[in-house]
């Protein structure tokens, strides 16, 4: 059953990755997030649904637009792979590589919790790399979820509150976990669609500040302090645009969640 759920998480990871590509492209340009049809940014042709499939779509068209043959940004493929790898690594970490490995349901919820944080950071990094800033509304969603996560008792989020039948029926257990992770994902997507456009663009400094706030909410003060120090030192000892503060926080967070948590 763990293997099945692992495959499911891997699948979710690639789907998330596809969505991240959409966010990175549309958010800083103020494009509508509600429309699901993707277009080639060069020739404006509507992509076929097959081309939108994560990873497979990219391979099928050989990394080029089916219509005008202009190369598709490698960033889409990178995001799909990075997202899948992140989700898979988190799941394996919480299920197996801990002093006290988590139960399957806890592992799924923790993967979604930290996965959301890391993938949001990944979107911010990719947007900033293009010398743009994410809308403030998008950043605030992460803050809201971080606050909710710290005040809502864990047993409300974890499906442990579900009836006893859980412990008797393996199939019910599996289906519930798949359903919960799907509902959670769709909820986040709807939240992002609703809120992202309604607030002004953040300045780079504001983005960094909110990134710090988010890492504090998700990891606690110790990790936030660690990230602030390494981020600050590297950021200010390096002359020029790179490395961005958010890149350092992303890498630092990844190390923290996989090695320390
Ligand atoms: Zn095209």
Measure 152 CA to ligand 1 centroid, in angstroms: 46
For residue 155, what pLDDT is reported? 59
Measure 22 CA to ligand 1 centroid, in angstroms: 16
Euclidean distance between CA atoms 202 and 139, whole angstroms? 9
Supply the pTM of this predicted model: 0.89
Measure 101 CA to ligand 1 centroid, in angstroms: 47
The set of residues, in sequence order, having a beta carbon less than 8 Å from that of 13 and lying 6+ positions away, is 83, 84, 85, 86, 87, 88, 115
> Percent of the chain, pLDDT > 70?
90
Long-range CB pairs of 88-92, under 8 A, 24+ apart, other chains included: 88/6, 88/9, 88/10, 88/13, 89/258, 90/114, 90/115, 90/118, 90/257, 90/258, 91/5, 91/6, 91/9, 92/6
Measure 31 CA to ligand 1 centroid, in angstroms: 18
Q: Per DSSP, which regions of 116-238 are E strands?
A: none
Question: Residue 121: pLDDT above 90?
Answer: yes
Measure 178 CA to ligand 1 centroid, in angstroms: 36
- Domain boundaries of the chain, sorted by first residue: 2-260
Measure 181 CA to ligand 1 centroid, in angstroms: 34
Q: Which residues surround ligand 1, an ion (CB under 5 A)?
A: 40, 42-43, 65, 67-68
For residue 239, what pLDDT is reported? 67
- Taking only the tens place, the pLDDT of each residue in 149-164 is 888 766 566 555 566 6
Measure 48 CA to ligand 1 centroid, in angstroms: 12
Band (214; pLDDT cuts 50, 70, 90): very high
């Amino acid at each position: 059953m763990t293997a099945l759920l692992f495959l499911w998480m891997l699948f979710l990871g690639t789907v998330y990755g596809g969505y991240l590509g959409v966010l990175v492209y549309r958010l800083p340009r103020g494009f509508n997030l509600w429309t699901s049809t993707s277009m080639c940014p060069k020739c404006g042709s509507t992509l076929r649904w097959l081309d939108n499939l994560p990873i497979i779509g990219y391979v099928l068209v050989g990394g080029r637009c089916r219509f005008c043959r202009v190369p598709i940004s490698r960033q889409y493929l990178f995001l799909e792979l990075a997202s899948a790898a992140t989700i898979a690594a988190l799941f394996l970490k919480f299920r197996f590589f801990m002093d006290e490995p988590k139960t399957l349901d806890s592992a799924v919820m923790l993967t979604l919790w930290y996965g959301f944080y890391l993938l949001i950071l990944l979107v911010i990094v990719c947007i900033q790399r293009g010398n743009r800033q994410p809308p403030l509304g998008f950043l605030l969603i992460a803050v809201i979820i971080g606050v909710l996560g710290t005040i809502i008792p864990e047993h409300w989020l974890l499906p442990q509150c579900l009836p006893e039948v859980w412990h008797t029926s393996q199939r019910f257990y599996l289906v519930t976990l798949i359903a919960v992770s799907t509902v959670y994902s769709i909820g986040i997507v709807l939240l992002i669609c609703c809120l992202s456009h309604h607030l002004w663009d953040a300045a780079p400094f504001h983005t960094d500040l909110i990134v710090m706030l988010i890492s504090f909410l998700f990891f606690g003060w110790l990790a936030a302090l660690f990230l602030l120090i390494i981020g600050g030192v590297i950021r200010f000892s390096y002359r020029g645009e790179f490395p961005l503060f958010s890149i350092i926080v992303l890498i630092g967070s990844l190390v923290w969640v996989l090695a320390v948590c």
